[in-house]
Chains A and B, each alone.
Chain A
């Protein structure tokens, strides 16, 4: 499988649940990103990892917890979410200074 993959593609969870989103890239990139796309708002950055180290956190609430065990995998652990966290969560990867490649996203609904 090539490119950037994300699982699951759709997720419905209650506010008390704990779930995780997974992203995997097969492009040999060393930077990975989580973005959030809410209805009627521009895509906004959440986290950046460079060589497994978190280099950016865009003031994201602690109920979102990222994990990057290696340069190919990125997780977003979710707990005690709010209905306003419902959105499309997109993962991307890149080489330094190069274009970012995006996965298909996980559509999250918080009830």
Chain B
């Protein structure tokens, strides 16, 4: 059974810092990996999707990497801003073509101090 772990569970940084969020998964046979942002009490906003054949994806100040063989992904946020404060979730989809659902980690709660 796939398990997804995110470290750290919570992180507080001053504005302007570069930071890295970590995600690990136990079964390396994944189809893709997706990073989401969730604001308190709200739904999820998709940030980046990395297919299993890709090593990284970039969107603005965000860069996500994937090392499938070691079961790890990182989300790099450059020049953090108070508006980046949210919970960041990592989720993986398995290779089983009959199963589309994502397995989620518990998230990293990020607070960027002005």
Contacts and interface: CB of A to CB of B under 8 A. Distances in A.
Of listed A31, A99, A104, residue having the most chain B CB within 10 A: A99
Contact of A43 (B49, B51, B98, B104): B104
Interface of A: 4, 6, 31, 33, 41-45, 48, 50, 55-56, 58, 88, 90, 92, 94, 96-105, 107
Contacts of B101: 33, 45, 48, 56, 58
How would you classify the secondary structure of chain A's contact residues: helix, strand, loop or mixed?
Answer: strand
Contacts of A4: 43
How would you classify the secondary structure of chain B's contact residues: helix, strand, loop or mixed?
Answer: strand
A94 B100 contact: yes
A50 B99 CA distance: 10
Interface in B16-66: 31-32, 34, 36, 41-46, 49, 51
Contacts of B102: 43, 45, 100
Given A56-B99, A58-B101, A99-B49, A90 B41 contact: no
